[in-house]
Amino acid sequence: AKQESVLLRPLGTAAAPGQELVCVFGTGDMGRSLGLRLLQSGYAVVYGSRRPHSCGPLPQGAQATGHEEAARSAALVFICVHREHYDFLETLAPQLKKKVLVDVSNNLKKNLYPEANAEYLQRLIPGAHVVKAFNTLSAWALQNGPSDANRQVYLCGNSDEGKQAVAEVATKLGFTVLDKGSLSAARELEDFPLQLFPEWRMPLRVAVGLTASFFFYLLIRDIIYAYVDQGKDVSFRIMVSLANKVFPIVSLIMLSLCYVPGVIAAFLQLYRGTKYRRFPDWLDRWMLCRKQLGLVALAFAFLHVLYTLIIPIRYYVRFRLSASTISQIKENRTSVFDTTLAWRADSYYSMGILGFGLFLLLGITSLPSVSNALSWREFSFVQSKLGYLTVFFCTFHTYLYGWDRFLQPYGYKWYTPPAYLLSLVVPSLLIVLKLLLLLPCVNRSLMRIRQGWERNDAE
Ligand code: HEM
């Protein structure tokens, strides 16, 4: 059948001398954005379409023609068509032979098909060099340019020359290229846009779990106990007092949880006498989400600080203060200044402030743009040394806040320990274990193992 072609520019003059012609199959959002970007970067673009004269507005300067003709005219073809419509490509196998086909497709769900879209395409047209690329960028990101969106283009494929050709185009469009290897990586690339905060899932679950547990624990101890034991309704305390216990407690525990896997890993290496055995999966996964654990903990610490700031303007606090002042006047009493109490209060505030300051620093250095500017030694200095110092300050803040409260029998309502004591378990254990690892004899063994030395009995 004779292919009708609609030329916005005559085909013969499509590519000026030195201008490379690129073909795009598909005139949907992705095809149009890609075409526009290619044109802006100096390529000539020809669209391959079923209905070249009625495929809607195309970027200015592009031409549209039938698939066969378009395929023949360029060495590089972007396939911006849904996988469900790939079968028509099989009929174009002769024209597409030896061409570089760029599969930019995505699916709506994971594991929808037994093989990746790009592998399927390669099977349909075995003679072509199929390269999976650009699928992690949205049409929107392509249009807005790299300054406003993700700069990275992942690609994979079995043909080195094919990948080279696509990498050149991507670089010219202003993206940085990351080669993920052979076409068997296509599935991973296709799943990439479908991920939903994978590394945040565990930290958020931990945060929700701890928050709910401590909320109910404190609800029973602080509100229900007062009601049952003394018939007092202090339910208003849920809003600020309770929140200002739950948030710092969860924050402190989660901050410590960032450092626990490192300590477990060190003890595991000491026990095994080698660094060459894999860590259990759960430990690996735990290590990989430390940054997110820390950032959630920082958010909770921030809430604690905000709640603390409003303590002086709370009605309840002002009421209690004036009531006590009035009763002192009435009863002609004066309270004595307690230096120990002043020291204690100022010290725990100060520790909290120092802890929070360092915590912010940890958060800032975990941002990619900042951490990329640091050397490995600088990064590990901040995240490890200053990280432990943060844990120490925050833990000390809580110990000073508690002071001798754990000795008071009234603190153990219904035989339950005060919540702040529970929050101290993980950080205290962490600090003790870390101190053990810092003992010169232990530290020396660990350093030797980390430099590659193996104990004789290590498997
Ligand atoms: C308790 C202040 C930072 C953990 C408190 C309390 C205050 C306070 C006033 C007592 C609250 C009450 O009476 O209910 C501050 C200030 C900080 C700071 C001014 C920094 C600007 C932190 C940080 C952490 C933390 C960074 C940990 C990550 C705790 C814990 C408690 C506490 C666990 C005990 C909660 C309870 O059971 O009542 N802090 N804090 N604080 N703070 Fe902080």
Q: Kindly give, in sequence order, each residue whose CB lies less than 8 Å from that of residue 389, ignoring residues fewer than 6 positions away.
A: 358
Q: What's the whole-model pTM score?
A: 0.80
User: Residue 459: which pLDDT band, with cuts at 50, 70 and 90?
Assistant: low
pLDDT for the residue 10: 43
Tell which wins on pLDDT, 388 or 455.
388
Q: Which atom of ligand 1 is nearest to the CA of 311?
A: 9
pLDDT for the residue 149: 56
CA of 304 to the centre of ligand 1 (A): 6
Residue nearest atom 43 of ligand 1, based on CA coordinates: 352
CA of 38 to the centre of ligand 1 (A): 55
pLDDT for the residue 227: 97
356-398 pLDDT, tens per residue? 999 999 999 999 899 999 999 999 899 999 999 999 999 999 9
Q: Which CATH architecture has domain 11-194?
A: 3-Layer(aba) Sandwich (3.40)
Q: Which atom of ligand 1 is nearest to the CA of 418?
A: 37
List the strands of the sheet with 76-79, edge to edge.
63-65, 44-48, 21-25, 76-79, 100-103, 129-133, 152-157, 176-179
54-96 pLDDT, tens per residue? 888 889 999 999 999 999 999 999 999 999 999 999 999 999 9
pLDDT for the residue 186: 95
pLDDT for the residue 138: 82
ipTM of the complex: 0.97
419-443 pLDDT, tens per residue? 999 999 999 999 999 999 999 999 9
pLDDT for the residue 7: 42
Strands 44-48 and 63-65 come out as parallel
Contact 239, 215 (CB under 8 A): no
Q: Kindly give, in sequence order, each residue whose CB lies less than 8 Å from that of residue 439, ignoring residues fewer than 6 positions away.
A: none
CA 433, CA 424: separation in Å to the nearest integer?
A: 14
Residue 296 pLDDT > 70: yes
- Residues touching ligand 1 (Cβ under 6 Å) are 241, 244-245, 248-249, 251-252, 255, 301, 304-305, 308, 349, 352-353, 355-356, 359, 394, 397-398, 401, 419-420, 423
Contact 12, 37 (CB under 8 A): no
Residue nearest atom 15 of ligand 1, based on CA coordinates: 352
**Coil, strand, or helix at residue 135?**
coil
User: Residue 6: which pLDDT band, with cuts at 50, 70 and 90?
Assistant: very low
User: Quick count: other Cβ atoms within 10 Å of Cβ 449?
Assistant: 20
Q: Which atom of ligand 1 is nearest to the CA of 300?
A: 28
Mean of per-residue pLDDT scores for the chain: 92
Q: Where do the domains of the chain lie?
A: 11-194, 198-450
CA of 188 to the centre of ligand 1 (A): 43
CA 361, CA 359: separation in Å to the nearest integer?
A: 5
Residue 287 pLDDT > 70: yes
pLDDT for the residue 1: 38
pLDDT for the residue 17: 66
